[in-house]
Copies of this chain bind each other. A is one copy, B any other.
Amino acid sequence: MTYVNEHYAKLRSSYLFSEIARRVQAFQSANPAARIIRLGIGDVTRPLPPAVIRALHEAVDEMARAETFRGYGPEAGYEFLIAAIAEHEYASRGVAIGADEIFVSDGGKSDSANIQEIFAPDSVVAVTDPVYPVYVDSNVMAGRSGPPDESGRYAGLVYLPCTAENGFQPPFPEGPADLVYLCYPNNPTGAVLTRPALRGWVDWARAHGAILLYDAAYEAYIRDPEIPHSIFEIEGAREVAIEFRSFSKKAGFTGTRCAFTVVPREARGRTRGGDAVSLNALWLRRQSTKFNSVPYIVQRGAAAVYSPQGQREVRALIDDYMENARIIREGLEATGLTVHGGANAPYLWVRTPRGLGSWDFFDRLLGDAHVVGTPGAGFGPSGEGYLRLTGFGRRDETEDAVERIKTRLQL
């Protein structure tokens, strides 16, 4: 008899986006003339930069000729892309990352979901609250938790509440924690970790023998020159951190799929017998056994992001989204709403007015302004009382949505 992985049964059904869809659908049916604007989406809307498009076309042509055709590529990615990443993402910031420490992949989602496989099944996992659900779900599926409680928190996981009261800065775990997932700039709060705060985390991990799983998928949105883009800008991080990066939000690759993960040679875990084991070697083994890298075409497209033209175009793309974020933030603040984030991140974390619940504010925004946000409660109990908006929409729609909120929302 074949038995299933019963840990899956613990998972709360991810009702957030289906519930949003249901409410939007119901509203649209009742108000067929309403032109609804989605301002809560986490997906990009601008086309790929021309430098990337050209590189993709050239790579497609290479695949058309026997002399330049590419079959299986190197399992951790092509040297041309890895070298460009090492140079432009790290060396340019004074951080030395070796080619054998960079693993190209199809997405930050895959990597941040798969990384837990190389750790012991009984590792204690800490996550922020609110949180990107993949960190939690992948560990629940692997059996590192008990069932969820009423609020959605799983037994055995350590939650680090991030609220206005602590400036959305995660407190250190009070008890033991082996693996800590940190995502900064943060989805959904838009908060960042300053250099001293990040140094505090590295020091904490070193003192506690923990590993930090640092998701920097949104680093390209950092404006403040004092905010680190990589955890490896912090001394000592190479022993205790793994970093996830992505071309998704940096260069519009959500539908083109390319990302990378950095596992330094010095990062180590232990066996029960007390031996140190290289996490780099474990991840290499994981990836080379279970993955066959990213399409050659896509790797060429990603490398073009680092050409001078690509760099300019990507900066313009991000400026554009950040201008949306500014428009939303200033518009909502003008109505008296409290808005966090949006300064070094594409996400705006809007406090619901007068103690309204996340879903109540969602309904109000939809009903009054025909604007769709994402209820903060969907990201965890500490997200209750917030709504997530993003700068990823079209400019005209973003302006229109803000104008409607200013003029129609009954607070």
Contact = CB atoms under 8 A, between A and B. Distances in A.
Interface in A74-89: none
A254 B70 CA distance: 8
Contacts of A119: 2-5
Nearest to A269: B4
Interface string A273-304: 00001010010011001111111111000000
Nearest to A122: B3
A203 to B, nearest CB: 16
Determine the interface band of chain A, counting residues with CB < 8 A from chain B.
35 or more
Contacts of A23: none
Nearest to A49: B64
Number of copies: 2
A47 B64 contact: yes
Interface string A102-122: 000011011001100111111
Nearest to A140: B289
Contact of A117 (B1, B61, B141, B179): B141
Max chain B C-beta neighbours (<10 A), residue from A9, A257, A293 = A257
Interface in A44-72: 44-48, 50, 53, 56-57, 60-61, 63-66, 69-72
Interface in A142-178: 143, 178
A350 to B, nearest CB: 23
A187 to B, nearest CB: 14
A5 B290 contact: no
A70 B46 CA distance: 9
B45 A69 contact: yes
A348 to B, nearest CB: 19
Contacts of A45: 66, 69, 71
B292 A106 contact: yes
Contacts of A295: 255-257, 295, 298
A44 B71 CA distance: 6
Given A1-B209, A256-B63, A8 B46 contact: no
Contact of A71 (B178, B255, B285, B394): B255
Contacts of A35: none
A129 to B, nearest CB: 18
A47 B63 contact: yes
A157 B52 CA distance: 47
Given A63-B48, A64-B50, A254-B71, A2 B289 contact: no
Contacts of A3: 119-120, 122-123, 178, 269-272
A296 B72 contact: no
A370 B328 CA distance: 68
29 contacts: A1-B270, A2-B120, A2-B123, A3-B119, A3-B120, A3-B269, A3-B270, A4-B270, A4-B279, A5-B120, A5-B121, A6-B271, A9-B271, A11-B285, A43-B72, A45-B71, A47-B66, A53-B63, A56-B63, A63-B256, A72-B254, A72-B255, A106-B106, A107-B292, A117-B141, A254-B292, A255-B295, A257-B292, A257-B293
Nearest first, the 4 A-B pairs at minimum CB distance are: A3-B120, A113-B290, A4-B269, A43-B71
Interface of A: 1-6, 8-9, 11, 43-48, 50, 53, 56-57, 60-61, 63-66, 69-73, 106-107, 109-110, 113-114, 117-123, 134, 137-138, 141, 143, 178-179, 209-211, 252, 254-257, 269-272, 277, 279, 282, 285-286, 289-298, 394
